[in-house]
Amino acid sequence: MTDDAVQALLRRFYALQGERLEAYRLFEEGHRAYLRGAPHYDFPRYRQLVHEVTVAFGGISREVLQLQRRLRQEHGRPELAQHLARVQEREQEKLQLTARLQLARQRAQEQPGVAAHEQEVRELKHRLIKTMEAISEILQDLKYDSEEAE
């Protein structure tokens, strides 16, 4: 019974990761639309999008923290809880990098040909890719460790 409960918690975690991916997709889509509006940016609409994404990520994070606690305290699976904690840290980093990249893209668009802006965009994209790779690795470790216990 405990294994089924643990698997149910992990299924919920993966569903939350799916919700996170969808929120990122909407965030990126909204930012592209915002940039297309240059030079007459619709900042109120973009600010609303940022607010909605922030609320969504906050809710997802709170639920993941509850899943961590339950895995650790109720089911005695600290190693699985640790994977969730590591994903949370990397997801926080990913969100910060995404926001910084959006600002850098806007600067690069507003001042074309400025090498420093183009370099910043490249560096942030690289860091974002590395963070996403780290998340994938942690998810692989989680999958392996959770299957090992079945």
DSSP letter string over 58-110?
Answer: HHHHHHHHHHHHIIIIIT--HHHHHHHHHHHHHHHHHHHHHHHHHHHHHHHHH
- What's the rounded mean pLDDT across residues 137-144? 96
> What's the rounded Cα separation, in Å, for the pair 14 and 121?
30
pLDDT, tens digit (0-9, with 9 covering 90-100), for 13-70: 999 999 999 999 999 999 999 999 988 999 999 999 999 999 999 999 999 999 999 9
In which residue are the tokens 């409960």 written?
A: 5
pLDDT, tens digit (0-9, with 9 covering 90-100), for 78-134: 999 999 999 999 999 999 999 999 999 999 999 999 999 999 999 999 999 999 999
Question: Residue 6's domain is classified under what CATH number?
Answer: 1.20.1420
Higher-scoring residue by pLDDT: 1, 13 = 13
In which residue are the tokens 């949370």 written?
A: 88
Give the HSE-up count for residue 124: Cα atoms under 13 Å, Cβ half-sphere.
20
126: DSSP letter: H
> What's the rounded Cα separation, in Å, for the pair 124 and 103?
11
Answer for the pair 9, 67: CB distance below 8 angstroms, yes or no: yes
99: DSSP letter: H
- The predicted pLDDT at position 39 comes to 87
pLDDT at position 1 over 50: no
> What's the rounded Cα separation, in Å, for the pair 146 and 130?
24
List the domain range (segments joined by +) for residue 13: 2-148
- The predicted pLDDT at position 133 comes to 98
- The predicted pLDDT at position 147 comes to 86
Residues 6+ positions from 117 with CB-CB distance below 8 Å = 104, 107, 108, 111
Answer for the pair 123, 117: CB distance below 8 angstroms, yes or no: no
Q: How many domains does the chain have?
A: 1
- The predicted pLDDT at position 149 comes to 57
In which residue are the tokens 């975690």 written?
A: 13
